[in-house]
Structure 1
Amino acid sequence: MPYEPPTHRVERSLRATTGAKVVAGVDEVGRGAWAGPVTVCAAVTGLRRPPEGLTDSKLVAPGRRTALAEELVEWVTAHALGHASAREIDELGMTAALRLAAVRALEALPVRPDAVILDGKHDYLGAPWRVRTVIKGDQSCVAVAAASVIAKVRRDALMARLGAEHAAFGFERNAGYPSPAHRAALAERGPTPHHRLSWSYLDALPRWRHMKRTRPGPTEQIGLF
């Protein structure tokens, strides 16, 4: 099925309505995984024509995705990544962990963005950042699509390195998501130090259920940042 290529429409709108000169696209990967960090990429692209085939990372074949990420790293004006570890996810909850990773990415850029295009409908970033949320922004916005591809490839590489340390879990193939091999290794060996211990998968593992941690509620997260 063909997809419409992403455009600079939202970026042009932000420039026209807010006076923003530097606009960053932001996307995350790893939100639904059982192990590993959540990773956020912030990418600044300007208004140049993007590499051929750019779209949401999930719609790009794995081999092409890796090559495309290499092209994008050279093509973008600037990019940076931020991670929130499994332990930080357990301690903060996913929304606050996403914000932590996104702030780390944005603050690592060589120039502070005047505005941010955030993939999805929920603004997990908030003040003081000027945010425009865009549903399916990773398909429709050039900067968000670039961030999507770079984040996916970089996190997959990170999980492959963790897979070398924990071969039974197949992280190099499943990136920490619940594949059959991952589930079987969890049942037999229990969680690694890279697993999220506040997640409900532990409820189905009687041998390891005692390791489960309680997630913080919304009131417990107030004042974290």
Structure 2
Amino acid sequence: MLLPNYSGYTLEAGIDEAGRGCLAGPVVAAAVILPADYKHSLLNDSKQLNRKQRELLREDVLKDAVAWAVGEASPAEIDEVNILNATYLAMHRAIQGLSLPPAYLIVDGNRFKTTLATPYTCIVKGDGKYLSIAAASVLAKTFRDDCMCRLADTFGMYGWEQNAGYPTKMHREAIAIHGTTPYHRQSFTLLPKQPELVNK
């Protein structure tokens, strides 16, 4: 069972991202403030859930959250400032998009950089420990998947509706055949030099 609160502050926001390891598309972050005594038996790290479960949980999070917001950084921004800084940028946009200012932030992972005065704690694998981070994980993942599905309507040859821009064998083979799009991250290794490095 995931925990409802880390800091003791009522307006504690959980922060998580999706899409850092992708070859294409934005990196998306979400910030979620849940009720202090919130309980949900199914809410978990989005990577432990299937697509249908994530979609159902997104509806619950959007309905139950005290406040929520999603932010993103574009492929061009990723190429300009690198993926780590672009992730921080997306997180800041999500935090600043909240309808209520958070009193405390709990951020999934082991690093965070901010100019905000809000106190924070980084929690490794926090999306499997705290409900608000898990909720942010679900929102970031589902909103990003929706984005990649929309892009797939125009760029169907890359299979983004299935792989969400991650470096699958199919995605890399499509890059080798069709080249890149404006949504590919040019600063990433889009095609490995050795064929055996292509992910199965």
Q: Runs of 4 or more off by more than 6 Å in structure 1?
A: none
Residue 88 of structure 1 is aligned with which of 62, 77, 80?
A: 77
Q: Which has the higher helix share?
A: 1
Q: Residues 69-218 of structure 1 correspond to what in structure 2 (within 5 A)? A: 69-125=58-114, 127-202=116-191, 204=193
Does structure 1 retain, via aligned residues, the 8 Å contact 2:176–2:191? Answer: no
Task: Pick the structure with greater CA Rg.
Answer: 1
Q: Secondary structure in 2 aligned to 1:195?
A: coil
Q: CA deviation at 1:131?
A: 1.1
* Larger relative contact order, structure 1 or 2 (CA cutoff 8 Å, min sep 6): 2
Deviation sequence 1:77-111 (CA, Å, 0-9, x none): 11000000000000011121111111111111011
Q: Secondary structure in 2 aligned to 1:165?
A: coil
Gaps of 5+ in 2: 195-200
Deviation sequence 1:65-86 (CA, Å, 0-9, x none): 1111111110111100000000
Q: CA deviation at 1:52?
A: 2.9
Q: CA deviation at 1:201?
A: 2.5
Q: Matched residues in 2 for 1:126 and 1:202: separation?
A: 36
Deviation sequence 1:116-175 (CA, Å, 0-9, x none): 000011123454331111111101001101100111111101100001110000000000
Residue in 2 aligned with 1:213?
A: none
Q: CA deviation at 1:46?
A: 2.3
Gaps of 5+ in 1: 206-225
The count of corresponding residues between Structure 1 and Structure 2 is: 194
Q: Secondary structure in 1 aligned to 2:153?
A: helix
Q: Matched residues in 1 for 2:10 and 2:135: separation?
A: 18
Q: Matched residues in 2 for 1:87 and 1:202: separation?
A: 18
Q: Matched residues in 1 for 2:93 and 2:5: separation?
A: 26
Does structure 1 retain, via aligned residues, the 8 Å contact 2:175–2:191? Answer: no
